[in-house]
Structure 1
């Protein structure tokens, strides 16, 4: 079992915009090598020469400090859009345009993987069974087309992030597994692989059964299909993205030792854990950084413990 630790740039949104700053902070101050780049840091629809200049800065900073962009991620700014589930054809084509430009920026950043949710239905569509089935089929058709296109940009993997919202796709363990299998079957072995990004804070859907609201069951069942796992502290009621601090531990349900044991039980061979914490923009900046550093240390210690225990066997 190989488990590595990295971090999403989610923590840096609006506070640390220059790659020289956030790459240094991650690699030198936190001691992490693997970075997932959120498109909240920079819009992939920017003019091509501007985007390329920014990506050049990121690559230079990574080389300078010994870090790498493992993958890119959709981020909060595009998440509220309907994207591939848009009820209108022009809305879905606009989503294709966004993803293609995101593929291009991913390549410029030196990464070969991208991830995130790929859309959500509007209420009118969701509440009409026939229309819902139609849009689901259209979304899958467009998604497969995107996976094929991704290969042209050197993208090897698309990490789909399952969410707790039924209008955005499956909310259960078995239905999530079936969706992964179906999309990979539809792409026919061509294009980017459709893999899972499992977020430990997403086992909270009110539309799911009791077992599907247990984050450890998700890990035990699906960690082998989830090469990357997002880490956040949550109370099991909402998608909180709290840090892993002493203050949040008393009200949170995510325990590092339990997470690592569940991954080990699953039989997953290679897993990248990505800390994905978010603070209100009103939070004091020094507090944000302190929480991020404490969260990294919490998971680093847990990884040391499980490694020591395995070595003692």
Structure 2
């Protein structure tokens, strides 16, 4: 289970690829990153986008970093996306995802993903319209999965969220969605399971835990987003935090027990933009140190440890 870090902490702080690459390798001692589209938007014009993508690739290579995957950031999470009530908006979201797949291939990453969108309150309140949105999402995902395969991107990752209208939001939703795709011969769509989403008590009950998600969804889980929470929200705290209660060791044991020890675990700590940058980087560093106790060291970590001790 290689430990990596989502680059959301770099947004508005160190957008230069060379800076975040140096920090991840030299300060954090990691060699896996998850690239966020908040740093390079798939919508941007091809010429500028290609130049910027080349800069990201070069920086990652210079510091021996693996771009594990590319993921939706805050900017594209805000729109209703592939579940928007307006057909034109859904078509625009589909185009965005197609361009996201192309950019992922350009960056050399094997996976791309994120939340798929939000059903409006009006559509959610109408059973027929809700079913239409969910059925059409299967159509969109099939199309995107085939494009990913053609582009050389191994996995299209769907992230369940803690909002009921952001389909899929439950274990049952995920099973239904994946079963429909498997029935169409689509096997390269998997799940990114976020620890803060899975244990959200208001949606999943006071006994919500990672164990049921991992046991019931098994190998459909291709990636873990690791963040600290108290079960009453989706704060994406790091470690330490006075209210955070998430048990990283229990998660590592559960993944191992369910034979999921080969999936990537991505630390996803979202600091506020107004937070002091020095304190943010300290938080990311302490969070990595907390989490790496429970996951095998990557090659990059061994290099840093050798340098420190010898």
TM-score by length of 2: 0.90
2:279 to 263, 283, 287: 287
> Following TM superposition, by how much is the alpha carbon of 1:261 offset from its aligned partner in structure 2, in angstroms?
1.2
2:293 to 301, 309, 313: 301
Q: Distance in 2 between matches of 1:252 and 1:216?
A: 18
Secondary structure at the aligned position of 1:85 is classed as coil
* Residue in structure 1 matched with residue 232 of structure 2 by the alignment: 237
Deviation at 1:173, TM superposition (A): 2.4
Deviations 1:213-238 (A, max 9, x none): 22333234435321210000011011
**Which residue does the alignment assign to 1:200?**
195
For the residues of structure 2 that align with 1:303 and 1:126, how far apart are their CA atoms? 40
Match of 2:177 in 1: 179
Out of 69, 73, 83, the residue aligned to residue 75 of structure 1 is: 73
8 Å CA contact 1:164, 1:205 repeated in 2: no
In the alignment, the residues of structure 2 paired with residue 137 and residue 304 of structure 1 have an alpha-carbon distance, to the nearest angstrom, of: 40
Q: What are the ranges of 5 or more consecutive residues in structure 1 without an aligned counterpart? A: 306-313
Secondary structure in structure 1 of the residue aligned to 2:197: coil
For residues 205 and 167 of structure 2, the distance between their equivalents in structure 1, rounded to whole angstroms, comes to: 15
Deviation at 1:244, TM superposition (A): 1.4
> Do the aligned partners of 1:221 and 1:266 also contact (CA within 8 Å) in 2?
no
**Is the 8 Å Cα contact of residues 201 and 215 (structure 1) preserved in structure 2?**
no
Cα contact 2:255–2:261 (8 A) shared by 1: no
Q: Distance in 1 between matches of 2:176 and 2:122?
A: 25
Pairing partner for 1:106 from 79, 94, 104: 104
- Structure 2 CA distance, aligned partners of 1:172 and 1:43? 29
TM norm structure 1: 0.90
Asked if the contact 1:243/1:277 (under 8 Å) is kept, the reply is yes
1:225 — aligned with what?
Answer: 220
Match of 2:131 in 1: 133
Tell me the equivalent position of 2:307: none
Q: Distance in 2 between matches of 1:80 and 1:261?
A: 34
Aligned to 2:302: none
CA apart distance, 1:119:
0.8
Structure 1 residues 207 and 235: alpha-carbon distance in aligned structure 2, compared to 1, 3 A threshold: closer
Partner of residue 3 from structure 2, selected from 5, 16, 22: 5
Residue of structure 2 aligned with 1:22, choices 20, 23, 36 = 20
Contact 1:165 1:171 in 2 (8 A): yes
Q: Which ranges in structure 2 are unaligned for 5 or more consecutive residues?
A: 298-310
Give the alignment partner of residue 245 of structure 2, picking from 246, 249, 253.
Answer: 253
User: Relative contact order (C-alpha < 8 Å, sep 6+): which is higher?
Assistant: 2
Q: Which residue of 2 aligns with 1:311?
A: none
Match of 1:310 in 2: none
Structure 1 CA distance, aligned partners of 2:215 and 2:282? 31
> C-alpha separation between the residues in 2 aligned to 1:139 and 1:87?
12
Partner of 1:59: 57
The answer to whether the Cα contact below 8 Å between 1:171 and 1:205 also exists between their aligned partners in 2 is no
Question: Offset of 1:40 from its aligned partner?
Answer: 0.6
Q: Is the 8 A contact 1:220 1:265 kept in 2?
A: no
Corresponding residue number in structure 1 for 2:265:
273
Partner Cα distance (2:11, 2:130) in 1: 34
> How far apart are residue 24 of structure 1 and its match?
1.1
Corresponding residue of 1:309: none
Q: Secondary structure at 2:13's aligned position in 1?
A: coil
Deviation at 1:304, TM superposition (A): 5.5
Tell me, yes or no, if the aligned pair for 1:121 and 1:167 is still in contact at 8 Å. yes
The size of the alignment, in residue pairs, is 296
Aligned equivalents of 2:55, 2:18: Cα separation in 1: 8
Conserved? CA contact 1:180–1:196, under 8 Å: no
Contact 2:201/2:231 (8 A) holds in 1:
no
